[in-house]
């Protein structure tokens, strides 16, 4: 079910959003939803090039494996 949210933005931010929405031929509300989803999707996943870099970095992979091992052994603490 769709939800309604209210947000306050300054005039410069509003004008920037309005201009972008107009450029995409979207309503302001639809553009904010579209831009938010695009941002979150981009931030949540790595590109193929980034993944290749990660998978080819032996030091990083060893460090990640060590971290995973330590978590399984309970050798971690949550810092708040």
| CA gap 49, 51 in Å, rounded | 5
pLDDT at 45 over 90: no
- Give 26-36 pLDDT, tens digit per residue: 999 999 999 99
| CA gap 56, 65 in Å, rounded | 14
- Whether the pTM exceeds 0.75: the reply is no
Q: How confident is the model at residue 2 (pLDDT cuts 50, 70, 90)?
A: confident
Query: Which pLDDT score, from 0 to 100, does residue 80 have?
Result: 78
Q: Is 8 in a helix, a strand, or coil?
A: coil
Which CATH code, of 1.10.3230, 3.10.450, 1.10.1220, 1.10.600, is assigned to 1-45? Answer: 1.10.1220
Query: Which pLDDT score, from 0 to 100, does residue 67 have?
Result: 94
Higher pLDDT, 9 or 2: 9
Task: Give me the sign of the Cα torsion angle 53, 55, 59, 60.
Answer: positive
């Amino acid at each position: 079910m769709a939800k309604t949210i209210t947000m306050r933005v300054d005039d410069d931010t509003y004008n920037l959003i309005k201009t972008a929405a107009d450029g995409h031929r979207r309503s302001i509300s639809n553009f904010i939803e579209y831009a938010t989803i695009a941002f979150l999707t981009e931030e949540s996943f790595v590109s193929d090039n980034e993944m290749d870099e990660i998978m080819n970095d032996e030091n990083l992979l060893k460090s990640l494996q060590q971290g995973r091992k330590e978590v399984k052994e309970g050798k971690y603490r949550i810092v708040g």
